[in-house]
Structure 1
């Protein structure tokens, strides 16, 4: 298997995020790259440099207004007397149909869903190249590769069309699926991150041309809280084209695999001819965010089950945070997919 990466993704180096009202060290660190590369190399993956496909494929998912915000907001923020080094919102609109402010502070509140997506001087470039990494992976799949791994960082599945959140700025999995669709494919997105892929769901919620599925910790007591219930099936033309499979916190390998079979059956029913896996490694039992109890060997079993679909598959990196076993977990998944 080939894996795609670009060194510019390391330029996003967030220092803080707020949880329970406390400023904490941000777990979405550049160090994740080193550990993920180590895991990819241990599994025998061949490195590929990301190519630049321009803004067009990104703008097919994200609004021009939002992209302009991401590209310029850090410089504008620095013009505010006494501003912080990172753009972190302190106010949000009651409804997003309200006035679109000219103020940098107001726009930050409009385009950043929470305080877990701080924007620094290197964020835009890193997010841009994270998206280009996913697009290069699409190119590999369209070129005949059976599977490819896109080492995307920062991650993307919490990003809506015009809204950042949860460490995410550009929705790499959605961008990849849209590019596959425009190449004449019929894509499904299977999100196996421990958190619900709310941004991905939101982007495709009223569409029937991309099937979206997410297996995640029950949002009643887990981020992102307001999305991810089993009753959320899609709306309009998209009704029935979104499947959420929330599970209790602490779910382990065996119960997870039973639920995964339901997702795989739905992908078969959709008639997908290509798969995007939003690959979160944070279901791991010792991940700092503590949602599920998947073991290192469990990731290999999950990958093996997904492989039974026998579909060309793009693996897009989402979560999975700093712990000693992060490399081993990725290697386990990749080896399970190729065995």
Structure 2
């Protein structure tokens, strides 16, 4: 099991990327991590050699403000492009980066290639659920395609259901369509057309429309939407969690000794709340619908999210998820 890692992608690369890889390499002996990037800088962080960590030198880096498609085509010696080609050429089984999201989407689509039968790949992210019924829920698309077609949303439902079954072990995952009301006739033309297709999709357990206010209460195992809406929801959840913890901390620090003592007594409970709202422990966002796993973690990721993302990729490869999806969509093509 070999994972290509863009060691130069992200705000804290290569330091935090390498540290996360070291932690994963120590725990997952059966996984070989191939780090693409500036060899000297990587070795400065690595400090010692590991049997399951390899380094492939790359001269160039795709920066966060680079044009996605142009950078993929022009920076052939960049860490991301070289890592993507290694997956295309079957030297490695999956690609992981914390770098430029648009460039990674372009590398996945243009270099690794789409799965047969998939119109447009979508980004799937996993979030915590506050419900006692389920620990997490998945949402797709969270930003790969701002403009989606009903077909795309229908395919996302199948992709998300397979992920929920194979990786998270949910036997009959429920699928909800994100909308501005639960009634069947709610939403714009895209939502209505997608609803009609989802109702007829025999590969999923469709429960109808769901509202954004119910997402964190675990209304469905898989929530499907267009990439523009999904990305807005992703950033709203992320921003709300950060703001909530900031407000709590500010209230404690600004209200005298009694508040500080109370905060000290609640320290463990507040840490539990913070951990519950931290979705980075579930890994990165999966660019679903490609011929191999391509995973994007947050640009500001530290060693811990990097470790969790590698653990996530390991689970995807172990369950043969992609093989089953390829078989499913090839069957759909033949109908």
Q: TM-score, normalised by structure 1?
A: 0.37
**Which has the higher Rg, Structure 1 or Structure 2?**
2
The normalised TM-score by structure 2 is 0.37
